[in-house]
Amino acid sequence: MDYMISPYPLRIITLPIDSSKLKLQSLIISNVGHLPGRISFRHQASFSKWAFIYLSGGSGSYQANNGPVQRVESGTLLFLRPGVIYNYGPDQGGYWDEYYFTFEGTRIDEWLNSWLTNVDEAKQVGHEDATQHNRIERIFMLMESGLPDNIDRAALLVETLLFEFMLKAQATAQTTKTQQVIDIMDDLGDSLFQPFDAKSIAKRHHISISTLRRVVSEYTGYPLNAYINRLKIAEAKNILLNTEDSVKEVADSLGFKDVFYFSRLFKKYVGVAPLIYRNNMQL
């Protein structure tokens, strides 16, 4: 253990019997623990068994191998797996409240082949509710009993708890992705009256230009530049019908530096030149 893990009492339960006494050999829970107010940070830590951590309070960071340093907070699920180097824990001067579960067995491979994915990414699973709290407390009580059947029950409850956490993580990730798409599309709409700069938009949303292109294509069915041009030409039609601005003024207002290029683009999407469109629609 780290020196001074927490200033508060810890609750740590180690498998109290020989694992050969268990009926459920495909999933064995080795340790469970509750570390309230954890203040220690683990540097270059490695483990011989799998574990997952649920943060019920506080915040900090988590890094697997040389991957990105991920900010984590209350309601986050973290994984620790064999063969990986981890740096994780609360910020200096801060804390987090942690439940952890250490386990091993062939059941893990089944999870990895189906619903347990992206295990080096911190996952937001929401704050502890009554059901989660009761399930966690039940796991601790079963482990403390020292009875083989109860410890088997604890293992099955851990599997259920983890499965529910992963379902919540997927739902949260989908909601976050949907909101990100909405934010990107709103930003594109707000950029009509200026030269289009894909690099700046991607940077504002902390994504690559290739990701921006993929998001727009999936959402609209059009390539990025084609979608922007369609938005600009749709707005140009409104301006032509509702103002007396010249074609050059319309082009300038929409970020086109070359009025001839704007006119060619307008004809491509509308079928006629800008002035012809204005005159025909006013008849």
Show the tokens assigned to 78: 């973290």
Across 126-130, 163-167, 175-179, the highest mean pLDDT is recorded for 163-167
Residues 20-69: tens digit of each pLDDT: 999 999 999 999 999 999 999 999 999 999 999 999 999 999 999 999 99
- The mean pLDDT value for 145-165 works out to 96
Say if residues 32 and 139 touch (Cβ distance below 8 Å): yes
- Nearest Cα neighbor of 27 from 52, 46, 10, 47 is 52
Q: pTM for this one?
A: 0.69
Q: What percent of the chain has pLDDT over 90?
A: 85
Question: Taking the chain, what is the end-to-end CA distance rounded to the nearest angstrom?
Answer: 83
Greatest distance between any 2 Cα atoms in the chain: 91
Residues 118-154: tens digit of each pLDDT: 999 999 998 877 888 899 999 999 999 999 999 999 9
- Domains for the chain: give ranges and CATH numbers: 11-176 (2.60.120.280), 191-283 (1.10.10.60)
Residues 63-83: tens digit of each pLDDT: 999 999 999 999 999 999 999
Residue 3's pLDDT is 54
Show the tokens assigned to 39: 């203040």
Residues contacting residue 39 through CB under 8 Å, at least 6 positions apart: 4, 5, 6, 7, 90, 94, 95
Residues 192-216: tens digit of each pLDDT: 898 899 999 999 998 999 999 999 9
Neighbours of 127 (CB within 10 A): 12
